[in-house]
Structure 1
Amino acid sequence: MAKIAYILLCHKDPEAIVLQAERLTAAGDYISIHFDASAPLADFRAIRDALQDNPNVTFARPRQRCGWGEWSLVQATLQAVRAAVETFPRATHFYMLSGDCMPIKSAEYAHRFLDEHDADFIESVDFFDSDWIKTGMKDDRLIYRHFFNERKNKRLFYASVALQRRLRLKRAIPADLHIQIGSQWWCLRRRTIEWILDFIRQRRDVMRFFRTTWIPDETFFQTLVRHLVPETEIQSRSLTFLMFSDYGMPVTFYNDHYDLLLSQDYLFARKISPEANELKARLGRLYAAHDVEFRVSNEGQSLYKFLTGRGRIGRRFGMRFWESESTLGRKRELMIVVSKKWHVARRLLGQIRQATNLPVIEYLFNEVDTALPDLGGIQSTLEKRTRHRRALIRMLFDYYETDRLIVCMDPGNLDLMQDFASDRSVTRFLEVDCQFSDAYLAGHARRIGLAGEQTAPATLERLLPTIRNDLIYETDRMRDAGFEHHVRLSETATDEDNAAALSDFLSIPGDQALSLAQTERLFAD
């Protein structure tokens, strides 16, 4: 059975550290603590005195003064790892934690999970080819030597890099290493840890290299694990659930995140708010519990993106300068069918195509696999279609040799609708107004990743009003836009009213429009 030695890096809140150590060791596991040497000595003594009689606790020696982005963080980790390896010979796994982490599964679940997965869990992707680094320096982290802390000595940090560039003091990366990058929160098997410790004793050149790289905690273990362990035995993911905001800051979890955290496919989560006492107490009890069944739906990332993105309405892609004055053509009519229920719009378009023989394009700005002719590559990606929308529609008019074209759009594409409505051509809108049952909304949440098949009904029930309000908000924005040629086809309207809307939209006789309005099961889910 798996026995975990937790590697805990911390620098504050001694009471919380003691509670965390007692909680983790009560389940039969171990913990090796490195408490930052820059923190008050009294805090360290309080932790040591409270835990000195616990045989499953050890401390890293000597303690390091740690700084963000410095080698000292890796050195502190290695000190704690060495202490754990020597003190706990029965430990089978070594799991990196911070003082802000809390378990989101029971110890029983964690042990069973590690028993069933004989692998090292560490996020590690190619340093140079991946887009893991979003902003700031990239290659310069490695090819120049970094002696100053960017946060503490910003001027010296950048002056040093500038001087090395000017003097062309680039250095070589150790030839046999393929540099990787990823999260510092890993879980490694004992054999892997022993291989790493042996490797660094033999390879002083590698240690010299990483000591002067920038933010080595994101590259050191990630690179060495890939260098030493067969790829088939590595899972490039962390077992610690964490999210980042648009500003690159870690998302903090509070008392009302309990159900969300439990449903994620991870063993721990960070960062838990220091004030979230109720959450910490519940998670502490959970770790010691037995026979708990977890419904893993793993929708946390997409749900956070959805909820934080609401209200940030703007243009996703700006037009190129050569498109700003382009037009589809004064004599042309672009007819846009707008529906959140895509299957309803497709059903209607099929009938319109048969009745009018007009060219019809489905959700070309929403689905990459929408059937489109070859237009020289402009149709190849959603980004290209959106960025060059007027050129794309103009080419479709030319391809079909027509002055009337029907396309489908999602209500969320308001920026596209407004752009086409401002064109010199005639733009008509047919809004398909559908009813949304709770069952449909639940299915919609699963389709777009806001919920999973195992999402708890109570969690889904709390989410549905937000989704419903979001759909209503999209519709209201479209109606508030005040488009000149805007008619509505409604699930609750009579066939005669819907026929009038279709007749106006398509410019067809009333009897033909009535036949379309009476399409069998037009609004059925």
Structure 2
Amino acid sequence: MAKIAYILLCHKDPEAIIRQAERLTAVGDYMAIHFDASASAEDYAQITAALRDNPNVAFPRKRIRCGWGEWSLVQATLDTLTAAMEAFPRATHFYLLSGDCMAIKSAEYAHRFLDETDADFIESVDYFESDWIKTGWKEERLIYRHWFNERTQRKRFYAMFEAQKRLGLTRKIPADLQVQIGSQWWCLRRRTVEALMAFSRERPDVIRFFRSTWIPDETFFQTLVRHLVPEGEIANRSLTFLLFSDYGMPVTFYNDHYDLLLGQNHLFARKISPEALDLKRRLGLLYAAQGVPFQISDEGRNLFEFLTARGRIGRRFAPRFWERESSLGRERELLIIIAKKWHVAKRLMGRIRQQTGLPAVDFLFNEEDTPLPDLGGIQTTLEKRTRHRRALMRMLYDYYDSTRLIVCIDTSNLDLLRDFASDRAQVRMLEVECKLTDAYLSGHARRIGLSGAQTSQENLSRLLPTIRGNMLHEVDQIRDAQFANYSRLSEYANPEINAAALAHFLKVTEDEASAIVQPAGLFAD
């Protein structure tokens, strides 16, 4: 009978990890847990203390600091596989999971399913011939070396790429490998894992190659399994049910998706919303249940594609089934800096980034060239960003892997502010009040094309009161809206008052806030 060793890669929510480990091991299966070294040491200590006496739980000897798109994710998986193989000699299958995955079948069903099919379940299609990569780089992931993290070291990442491209420093793929690509989430038989580990030890050249490819968790296991296992023993699919939006982001499941998930021809689902407490409770009870019948309809993917298409042509009469909750997320915080003087707001954002490390994005709804990650095309124009603003924000939370995000918005965007203020997320706003001097207003008039080099001083003098009045009217409208959790940072106020306002906005101490507002030059033009 199949016995599964779950390989869990996670980095947050220790209570959920403990519950997941207890559920999946209670029926005799195993789990090896890798908790990201960049995550909280206290959380890791909580996990190990709670599971210390569980003989069916193991941990790798070393925690790896993981980064999206890096080899570190593959290394963490290999280390956790090694720990599982040593600790659980009776395990017949190794199933890779994330902390956002939950079982959508019972253990009884899962064991019978694996017993009936002697195969490795891994999605792996030809890297160059398939259309698995929808947007962005393809060949560039492999033929250039990528040593820096695209998310945390963006400038170095692209500078290194451009330097190699300019100098023609490409490299060859190992000659005997046909690179494959597919979902990160797989279930492999023990003999396949043993063969893969032996190959990794014998072929350091292959390891060196994948160490500097970009997003190797989508290619390393997929390529080696195809290289080592006969095609007839590979089921070319993942046993984890997941969907992606048009913009390449994973779809989230909520409380009303229970019946839909149970009907899919998969054993697990990803991602389950942190807010879907009832769904988590019901799925949590399911794994240990006995005699549960499952009616496999497997319509989820087709239904998703059908409803997406109807939405595009304007014939969707109800919320899409995967977006019944369009909120940014009740557990998330959206911090909005409202300003007309963009240079002052950007200066403030720079200081906040330096002092707090919080992810912060400048005027993404006002400035076309605001630096943004590749989110599948939704970020390419201001019109798209504004039209799909909630989807865009959810993607940014996922991209930065954070529940807190700061953005700048111009005072003219009252409708945008109202929309975000109505969200279930925790929204706080900080108005940056600046002096509107004639010199600033004259420069502003030139920048937006209301005046030029030949405009007379007389005409400019008549124009400035109108511009000033318009700016003050925008601010008055925002104040009249009486948004909750609204603070003001003012050029007219003393540093102590500003520090208190910023501390309330950021939820930091006043000393930390003072370090941001006290240095001279914050409001300088």
Which TM-score band (shorter chain)? 0.5 to 0.7
Q: What pairs up with 1:191-340 in 2 under 5 angstroms?
A: 191-313=191-313
Match of 2:487 in 1: none
Shift of 1:311: 3.6
CA deviation vs aligned residue, 1:165-208 (integer Å, no higher than 9, x gap): 11111111111101000001000000000001100011000000
Match of 2:507 in 1: none
Moved over 4 A (4+): none
* CA root-mean-square deviation: 1.1
CA deviation vs aligned residue, 1:494-522 (integer Å, no higher than 9, x gap): xxxxxxxxxxxxxxxxxxxxxxxxxxxxx
**The residue matched to 2:251 in structure 1 has which SS?**
coil
Change in 2 beyond 3 A, CA 1:206/1:311: closer
Q: Distance in 1 between matches of 2:304 and 2:222?
A: 27
Q: Distance in 2 between matches of 1:99 and 1:214?
A: 23
Counterpart code for 1:179: V
2:134 equivalent to 1:134:
yes
**The residue matched to 1:5 in structure 2 has which SS?**
strand
Match of 1:69 in 2: 69
Structure 2 spans left out of the alignment, 5+ residues: 316-525
2:71 equivalent to 1:58:
no
In terms of mean alpha carbon deviation, does 59-68 or 153-162 score higher?
Answer: 153-162
Shift of 1:110: 0.1
Match of 1:420 in 2: none
CA deviation vs aligned residue, 1:293-343 (integer Å, no higher than 9, x gap): 10000000111222333342279xxxxxxxxxxxxxxxxxxxxxxxxxxxx
Q: Distance in 2 between matches of 1:46 and 1:309?
A: 45
Q: Distance in 2 between matches of 1:223 and 1:59?
A: 26
Match of 2:49 in 1: 49
Shift of 1:246: 1.1
Match of 2:37 in 1: 37
Q: What pairs up with 1:499-518 in 2 under 5 angstroms?
A: none
Aligned length: 315
Shift of 1:66: 0.4
Match of 2:397 in 1: none
Query: Could you tell me the TM-score, scaled by structure 2's length?
Result: 0.59
**The residue matched to 1:310 in structure 2 has which SS?**
helix
Match of 2:321 in 1: none
Q: Distance in 2 between matches of 1:101 and 1:165?
A: 39
Counterpart code for 2:111: H
CA deviation vs aligned residue, 1:423-482 (integer Å, no higher than 9, x gap): xxxxxxxxxxxxxxxxxxxxxxxxxxxxxxxxxxxxxxxxxxxxxxxxxxxxxxxxxxxx
Match of 1:82 in 2: 82
Match of 1:16 in 2: 16
Structure 1 spans left out of the alignment, 5+ residues: 316-525
**The residue matched to 1:288 in structure 2 has which SS?**
coil
Shift of 1:277: 1.2
Q: Distance in 1 between matches of 2:93 and 2:311?
A: 44
Shift of 1:156: 1.3
Q: Distance in 1 between matches of 2:230 and 2:308?
A: 39
Q: What pairs up with 1:412-451 in 2 under 5 angstroms?
A: none
Q: Distance in 2 between matches of 1:160 and 1:313?
A: 42
Match of 1:410 in 2: none
Counterpart code for 1:57: V
**The residue matched to 2:95 in structure 1 has which SS?**
strand
Counterpart code for 1:289: A
Q: What pairs up with 1:83-98 in 2 under 5 angstroms?
A: 83-98=83-98
**The residue matched to 1:257 in structure 2 has which SS?**
helix
**The residue matched to 2:32 in structure 1 has which SS?**
strand
Match of 2:405 in 1: none
Q: Distance in 2 between matches of 1:295 and 1:314?
A: 32
Match of 1:519 in 2: none
> Whose Rg is larger?
1
Q: What pairs up with 1:341-380 in 2 under 5 angstroms?
A: none
Q: Distance in 2 between matches of 1:31 and 1:41?
A: 20
Match of 1:177 in 2: 177
Q: Distance in 2 between matches of 1:137 and 1:151?
A: 15
Counterpart code for 1:108: E
Q: Distance in 2 between matches of 1:223 and 1:95?
A: 17
